Each structure stands twice: as C-alpha cells, then as structure tokens.
Chains A and B, each alone.
Chain A
Amino acid sequence: QSPPGQPTVTHCRSYEKETFNCWWKPGPDGGLPTNYTLVYWTEKNNKRIECPDYHTSGPYSCSFSKAHFSMWILYSVIVNASNALGWNASYEYKFDMLDIVQPFPPRNLSLSYEAVETSMPYLIVKWNTPEKADVKTGWMTLVYQVRLREEKQQIWEEHIVEQQTKLKIFSLTPGKTYAVQVRCNADKGKWSEWSEEEYFQIPEVT
C-alpha cells in the first residue's frame, strides 16, 4: 500500500461555448480508496476554485456551468489524488477556451434523390444542427463538412457548407450506393466527430 500515483488531466471540451467539461485519468491507486479533487484558476483570477460538479459528465470528470465559463481567457486545471497514506497532484493543464470548443456532431442526417426532367439529377443531403448549439443568436456559427464515398471505395469526396444545413450533390453514378457523413465546427474551433454513416443507392436511369 502506498500514496496514489500521479493523475493526468487528459482533455477539456466545450460543446456549445457556454459550459465546459474536463476529464482526467487516475494514476495507480496505491491499493487504497482514492479521493480526487479538481481545482482551476484563470489568468484573471488566481484564486483556486474547486470543481463545482463532479457528477454530470461521468467518472473522473468535472462539469463547469455557465457561471464558471468565460470565452476569451486562459484556464489552468490541476487534479489532486489523495488516500490514507498521502497525495499526488497532476501537472497543470493550461488551455485557452478558444481551443477546446468542439461541438457535438450534426443530427438526423438524411438522404434523398431528386430527378426531374428540367435539371440534372442530384442527391440531397440534409441534417440538423448539433445538440445544444445556439446558432440563432450568432453566439455560435457552424461550418459543416460533408463527405461521401462509393460504398466499396475508401476515397472520400469532401464538401464544405457554410451555415446551411443541406447540400445538393450532382453527377453520381446510377446504380451505385454511396455512404455519407457530416461533421461541424464552430468559429474555427475543433471539428466534431463525424455523424453516423447514411447510405443511399442512386436509381438506375430508366
């Protein structure tokens, strides 16, 4: 039995530019029940403040509400591990809020096909804004990336879509099935994960 090993703050993320979460990885527990506390401070306020919510974002994490969020400030985070025999602190994890903005992926990706005589046929890709993202007030501005590939190919064709939540794709091969995904980023932050793949078979020409 020994004091706890050193924990590591692994990452912090803001999904919507209004709140954020941080996660850590525990070190060896020294064979004893270990208690974790997280403290943070900012470039504007050097006072150490303890994590306000250890529950909402799961084990080994801290969830910071709006009251703890400032957009254009440098934050520092440290996690302390302690057990009956002693304690150990993580390295300081320092970040600019700008750099941890990463939205949820877009929702409800759907594919349909438009073939009328008056224009070239095209695939219509539609999706919804990600969970929590407030784009109506302009606080978040999303850019989307749509990618598609032939089902049996590995090479993706990519399209950028600014703010709109649909895209028309022309010149697809009749009879082939395509896989499509979409992701987004907010104000030049990090790309979200890709959405689930959706598939669509382009009708044969009749």
Chain B
Amino acid sequence: MFHEFEERFTPDRRILAQSGMSCHTSSLNTPEDKEQAQQIQHEDLLNLVLKVLRSWNDPLLHMVSEVQDIPQAPDTILWKTVEIEEQAKQLLEGMERIVGRIHPGDLENEVYSPWPGPPAAAPGDENSRLFAFYNLVHCLRRDAHKIDNYLKVLKCRLIHDGNC
C-alpha cells in the first residue's frame, strides 16, 4: 500500500545524509534480517506491526497538516500524504481485528513508541522545518517497507505454510 508513495516521495539523500537522522520507532526491537524475521513467533511479529502502526498515528496527522504549509510541495505530495494517513488508519484497524482475535481483551494498553512531536524551530526557520518533514518521510518509508516485509513473511508462513 505504501509503494506508490515510495516512488514519488523519496527525499534528497544528500540532505538526509548530512544531518543526524533518527526515527521515533527505532526503540522498537524489530527483526533486522531474514533469520530474525523467521525466528520470531508470529504473535510477536503481529504485535510489532501493530506497535509500529500505532506509533505513526500522531506523526501522520502532523504530516498532513504540515504538508499544507509547505509552499513548494506539489499537489501530488499533498494528496499522497492524506491518502497514506487514511490507508495507515485502515491497516491499523485491520491489524487490530486480527490481533484481537488472537489475544482477545489484550489490546487496550499495548505500549508503543510515542512520537515526541515536531522539533521546536525558530519562527521562519523554513529549512529546519523542511528537514524535520524529510526526516519523517524517511522514517515513514523505512517503516512502511518494514511492515510490508513482515506482513509478506507472515502471509507465507501462516497461509502458504512457508512455501509461497
């Protein structure tokens, strides 16, 4: 679901490379390679997907409002951001139904990785505001890719018995 976004919205790597980027979801201990993804229990992997998705609720809402204030942003980026926010919400609802079936009643207080909010920028400091937005795009792309990969692994494991 996020793939179109990746194609249209890849940020300028040089800007990103020069500054210390960090993602608010990096504290979630998610599998980083094939062995780790295969060894983790499917319940735990589903829970991780859920946590990552929940961690994006607030920043995605922020991005939707922020992108409307970026004068250079073309309309395609504006409506893509809105669409991604909407699709992430739908994916989260779907995941909550699935996880809720596996662990009924266990959903409410699941800890996730909260977003600390946008960095305080001096008024009129458009560059740091733009950079903060790029940073979020970079992290969103990474987490979207991660979730996509985990869900494909889960699908092959649970539906196709490891033989996709």
Residues of A within 8 A of B (CB): 17-18, 43-44, 66, 69-74, 94, 96, 98-99, 134-139, 141, 187-188
Contacts and interface: CB of A to CB of B under 8 A. Distances in A.
The listed residue with most B CB atoms (<10 A of its CB), out of A44, A73, A139, is A139
Nearest to A189: B145
A201 B87 CA distance: 47
B152 A141 contact: yes
Interface string B13-43: 1000100011000100010111101100000
B146 A72 contact: yes
Nearest to B151: A138
B145 A98 contact: yes
Contacts of B34: 17-18, 66, 134, 137, 139
B38 A137 contact: yes
A36 to B, nearest CB: 23
A100 to B, nearest CB: 12
7 contacts: A18-B34, A70-B32, A72-B146, A73-B32, A94-B13, A136-B164, A141-B152
Contacts of B32: 70-73
A71 B33 contact: yes
Chain A contact surface mostly: loop
Nearest to B3: A188
A70 B156 CA distance: 21
Given A136-B164, A188-B7, 13 more contacts: A18-B33, A44-B26, A66-B33, A70-B33, A94-B13, A134-B34, A135-B164, A138-B155, A138-B156, A139-B38, A139-B149, A139-B152, A141-B152
Interface residues of B, number: 30
B160 to A, nearest CB: 8
B7 to A, nearest CB: 7
A139 B155 CA distance: 11
Chain B contact surface mostly: helix
Contact of B142 (A17, A72, A94, A138): A72
Contacts of B13: 94, 96, 99
B164 A98 contact: no
Contacts of A71: 32-33, 146, 149
A98 B142 contact: yes
B6 A188 contact: yes
Interface in B75-113: none
Given A18-B33, A43-B21, A136 B163 contact: yes
A138 B145 contact: no
B144 to A, nearest CB: 10
Contact of B145 (A18, A69, A94, A187): A187
B148 A69 contact: no
A191 to B, nearest CB: 13
Contacts of A188: 3, 6-7, 145
B21 A74 contact: yes
A31 B48 CA distance: 56
B154 interface: yes
Contacts of B3: 188
B153 interface: yes
A69 to B, nearest CB: 6
B157 A137 contact: yes
A66 B149 CA distance: 18
A170 B146 CA distance: 38
A137 B21 contact: no
Contacts of B163: 136
A138 B153 CA distance: 4
